[in-house]
């Protein structure tokens, strides 16, 4: 009997530690859990040890807010109230003034990922399936930010579809939920919408051709129902304005940022809007 009790001690200690760990508050928990396909290993977030000190960070943000800086193409710097920083579709070119703690990537094109990550990045989340690792699945919690993904298929270079070649990454702060569509190539079905959950801000590609056509992208956004839509991946003012017009016709007001950085709070989400950064950033 005593031997059996001692054999259970490691499991009991792990349970106590997990129960004592602080949870990241969020308001966009998925409606259903993501699938774990049989015969596919779960893709685990790779870890890069910091090799350089972080650049100085500004003061902490006000509770309930998030800072979004548009770096260009499909890359944004997202900063949480406790100064957790993440860059979306990190490509090593559209960098920020600070070294982020987290980077997410997609591999539809080389401008959405890189194998050469600047020193100091701690968590590298690749959003596509790879033969050694299988289905890409991430759920990272760092201070007051949670980052998880919902995989989507993409068109293959040789025709057909590539299974789980893209991920929609979701960034959850205590009060805001931000979804980055990556290089979305198909409509969002009920299963993926359910796994994404309730999204406040959606960052969507609006090129109209390399990803979804404008009408289909607007349809995907309306199916998700975010309060704020942030266009990216525009390839010129015509494409940007075409998408903005479609969303305006569907009840979204047009807001234009005066610079590359904006602060967003829940108070900014009382009405549905499309947030457009200055055109030279696209």
Among 45-59, 118-132, 163-177, 252-266, name the one with the lowest average pLDDT: 45-59
Give me the chain's average pLDDT, please. 84
Strands 139-142 and 123-126, by their bridges, are: unpaired
Query: Virtual CA dihedral for 180, 186, 189, 192, nearest 10 degrees?
Result: -30
Give the pLDDT band of residue 186 (cuts 50, 70, 90).
very high
Cα separation, 207 vs 257, in Å, equals: 20
Helix (H) or strand (E) holding 190: helix 190-196
pLDDT of residue 8: 42
Domains of the chain: 63-281 (3.60.15.10)
114 touches 90 (CB < 8 A): yes
pLDDT in tens, 251-280: 999 999 999 999 999 999 999 999 999 999
Among 23-32, 50-59, 106-115, 185-194, name the one with the lowest average pLDDT: 50-59
pLDDT of residue 65: 94
194 touches 186 (CB < 8 A): no
- Residue 46: pLDDT above 90? no
pLDDT of residue 257: 97
Among 73-82, 107-116, 142-151, name the one with the lowest average pLDDT: 107-116
Which residues are paired to 79 by β-bridges? 67, 85
Helix (H) or strand (E) holding 19: helix 2-20
- Residue 209: pLDDT above 50? yes
| Residue corresponding to tokens 């198909």 | 186
Report DSSP state, residue 158. Answer: T
* pTM attached to this predicted model: 0.82
Q: What average pLDDT does range 102-119 have in this prediction?
A: 93
Higher per-residue confidence, 37 vs 273: 273
Cα separation, 202 vs 198, in Å, equals: 11
Which pairs from 186-194 meet CB under 8 Å and 24+ separation? 186/152, 186/153, 186/212, 187/212, 187/216, 187/219, 187/220, 187/223, 188/152, 188/220, 188/223, 188/224, 191/32, 191/35, 192/150, 192/152, 192/168, 193/31, 193/223, 193/224, 194/30, 194/31, 194/32
127 touches 104 (CB < 8 A): yes
pLDDT of residue 58: 65
Give the pLDDT band of residue 27 (cuts 50, 70, 90).
low
Q: What percent of the chain has pLDDT over 90?
A: 68
Q: What average pLDDT does range 118-131 have in this prediction?
A: 93
- Residue 75: pLDDT above 60? yes
The per-residue DSSP string of 193-238 comes to: HHHH---SEEEEE--SSSSS-HHHHHHHHHHH--SEEEEE---SHH
């Amino acid at each position: 009997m005593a031997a059996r009790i001692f054999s259970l001690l490691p499991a009991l200690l792990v349970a106590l530690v997990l129960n004592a760990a602080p949870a990241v508050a969020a308001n966009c928990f998925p409606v259903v859990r993501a699938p774990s396909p049989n015969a596919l290993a779960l893709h685990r977030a790779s870890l890069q040890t910091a090799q350089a000190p972080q650049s100085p960070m500004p003061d902490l943000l006000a509770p309930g807010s998030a800072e979004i800086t548009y770096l260009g193409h499909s890359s944004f710097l997202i900063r949480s109230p406790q100064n957790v920083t993440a860059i979306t579709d990190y490509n090593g070119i559209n960098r920020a003034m600070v070294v982020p703690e987290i980077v997410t990537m997609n591999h539809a094109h080389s401008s959405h990922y890189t194998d050469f990550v600047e020193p100091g990045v701690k968590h590298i989340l690749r959003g596509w399936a790879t033969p050694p690792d299988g289905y890409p699945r991430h759920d990272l919690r760092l201070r007051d930010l949670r980052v998880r993904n919902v995989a989507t298929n993409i068109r293959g270079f040789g025709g057909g579809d590539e299974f789980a070649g893209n991920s929609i990454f979701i960034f959850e702060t205590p009060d805001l939920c931000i979804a980055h569509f990556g290089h979305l190539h198909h409509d969002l079905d009920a299963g993926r919408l359910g796994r994404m959950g309730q999204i406040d801000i959606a960052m969507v590609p609006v090129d109209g051709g390399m990803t979804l056509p404008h009408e289909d992208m607007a349809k995907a956004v309306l199916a998700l129902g975010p309060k704020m839509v942030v266009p990216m991946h525009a390839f010129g003012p015509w494409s940007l304005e075409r998408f903005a017009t479609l969303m305006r016709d569907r009840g979204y007001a047009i807001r234009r940022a005066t610079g590359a950085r904006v602060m967003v709070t829940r108070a900014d989400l009382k009405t549905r809007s499309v947030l457009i950064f200055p055109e030279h950033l696209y």
